[in-house]
Structure 1
Amino acid sequence: MGSHPCPIGVALIDDDAMALAYLQSSFSPDPDLRVVIATRSARQLLDFLQSHQVDVLIAAVHMGAVLDQGAMSGVDLTREALRISPRTRVILLTTADNDDVLLNGLAAGASGFLLKSTPAQEIISAVRTVHGGAKVVAPKPTARLIDYALASVRSADGSVALSSREHDVLRLLCEGASNRQIASRLSIAEATVKTHVSVLLSKTGTSSRLEIVVWAFRHGYASSGVGASMPPAPPPATETAPQASPAPMTPTVPAAHGTPAAPGASSGAASPAP
């Protein structure tokens, strides 16, 4: 008798008990898929990963304080799960098509992004896809993923390709601006600034804001037109007092006959005949 391939081990986590139960029941009919743990506890899941093999983890993005890790989101959980089990593939389920979630999840190492409204069979298909080494996303974010991938490619000379907005954020980081100040200057949400900083950390291979700034100066990004799309504001104009116009020259009037000429009068004036 031939040996049967091992089923794909799937872990599920969601703070919504009903959603978790529905998702778990969706995997029951498939013999090549096996739910090895379904939990609402981040601590329980992370402990399980320490001693068990999990091929694919499906995690809800937005999870609240019901998780005993505090306010750990699906993106935070992805990062920690992959630290413990680097070979595990992660699919994030979200209730909204959101750029911040997409980019943060990508930077954390997720292999898939699907809406929670995705039919169960499509989620199961996505599990097989990511287990095979590919990535899967909901239709809408696909174009943004392509843009992100293109912007992440390193140039042949080793430099890093940054988007226009990332250049702006990097320039302001080099000026010492906080996330709130950057958000105000660029007229974007503070959460979006955090996303850009996270992407910059990933692209530059750094681990802190200070390291990003050091990296920028070492690689010429801080002195070679960083933020060219957003030039610094010109200094406020200072009022200068108008210069006084020179006093008009008073014409010299020849002295009357018989009257001594005024000082400075022309010596060429004719004297009356004797």
Structure 2
Amino acid sequence: MIRVLVVDDERMVCAHLRTILGSASDLTIVGEAYDGADAVEAAVRLRPDVVLMDLRMPGVDGIRATERIMTLPSPPRVLALTTFDLDDYVTGALRAGAAGFLLKSTSPDDLLALVRVAAAGHTVLSAVAADRLVAQTAGSQRARDLLLSLTEREVEVLESLGAGRSNQQIARRLHLSEATVKGYVSRLLVKLGCANRTQAALLAQEAGLSAGRSAPQP
């Protein structure tokens, strides 16, 4: 029997999950919690195998609750439950030790199957979430690959575009004339296949550029 703890600040969501999970003969709901602090206490007291953890809760949110649960001697598998896919909350939950995440729109059959997969020790992503994650990873890799065609100075200019700086601000930062910066920006747009500064800025952020980073080497 797989023991499941349901955590959500909306009691109607908990009731919905209880109905779905209660329909399976191999799953049992050992408890509910309505905020992150209660979730940690319940995980200690009830010793579930799987925790379905809402991320956006008042007080102690799902990320901090997951972090605390992961410090237990034999922590359960935590699955983040979210209405949003691949936002900062989801990323934070995965970094905190969550075994995966599910959209609240996941179908009942998929939910039951993925809880079982998580209990068996595997990483879990709902079908929609998996597609999004693959797309995001591919996009990020493409952005990083494009940086290989740039000089170190071009990467510095691109980083500044990603930070939202104007040509004048970039010129001051890199000790260049505005005309020189304008030339760099024009060449960057051509090299990167971007139609405008906004697209270049988004690509810089997608590639994970940060201040002071030099051009990647092939």
Shorter-chain-normalised TM-score: which range? 0.5 to 0.7
Give the % identical residues: 28
Deviation (angstroms), 1:33: 0.8
For residues 12 and 19 of structure 2, the distance between their equivalents in structure 1, rounded to whole angstroms, comes to: 11
1:22 alignment partner in structure 2: 16
| 1:31 is the counterpart of 2:28 | no
Gap runs ≥5 in structure 1 = 1-6, 151-162, 168-181, 197-221, 230-274
2:88 aligned with 1:100: yes
Opposite residue 51 of structure 2, the aligned amino acid is L
Paired residues in the alignment total 165
CA distance in 2, matches of 1:73, 1:41: 7
Distance 1:147 1:95, change over 3 A: closer
CA distance in 1 between partners of 2:86 and 2:93 (Å): 11
1 CA distance for matches of 2:108 and 2:22? Answer: 11
Paired residue secondary structure (1:113): strand
Cα 1:19–1:141 shift into 2, 3 Å: closer
Match of 1:50?
44
Question: Match for residue 129 of structure 1?
Answer: 117
- Equivalence for 1:8: 2
> Match of 1:202?
none
Please give the per-residue CA displacement for 1:84-125, whole angstroms capped at 9, x wherever unaligned.
Answer: 254311111111223423322221111121111112221111
Residue 136 of structure 1 deviates from its aligned partner by: 1.6
CA RMSD of aligned residues (A): 3.8
Question: For residues 15 and 128 of structure 2, what CA distance do their matches in structure 1 show?
Answer: 27
Instruction: Determine if contact 1:14/1:60 at 8 Å carries over to the other structure.
Output: yes
Pairwise CA distance, 1:81: 1.4
Q: CA deviation at 1:45?
A: 2.2
Q: Distance in 1 between matches of 2:68 and 2:136?
A: 23
Q: What TM-score do the two structures reach when normalised by structure 2?
A: 0.60
| Aligned CA distance change for structure 1 residues 104 and 123 (closer, same or farther; 3 Å) | same
Q: TM-score, normalised by structure 1?
A: 0.49
Q: Structure 2 stretches of 5 or more lacking a match? A: 148-161, 166-199
Amino acid paired to 2:38 = Q
- Structure with higher helix content: 2
Give the Å deviation of 1:131.
0.8
* Cα deviations by residue, 1:134-184 (Å, 9 ceiling, x for unpaired): 11212344356568999xxxxxxxxxxxx949x9xxxxxxxxxxxxxx955
SS at match of 1:84: coil
Aligned to 1:62, which of 56, 77, 86? 56
Quick one: structure 1 residues 104 and 44, their matched pair in 2 at CA, closer, same or farther if it must change by over 3 Å?
closer
Any idea what SS the aligned residue of 1:83 has? coil
**CA–CA distance in 2 between the matches of 1:87 and 1:27?**
21
Deviations 1:232-268 (A, max 9, x none): xxxxxxxxxxxxxxxxxxxxxxxxxxxxxxxxxxxxx
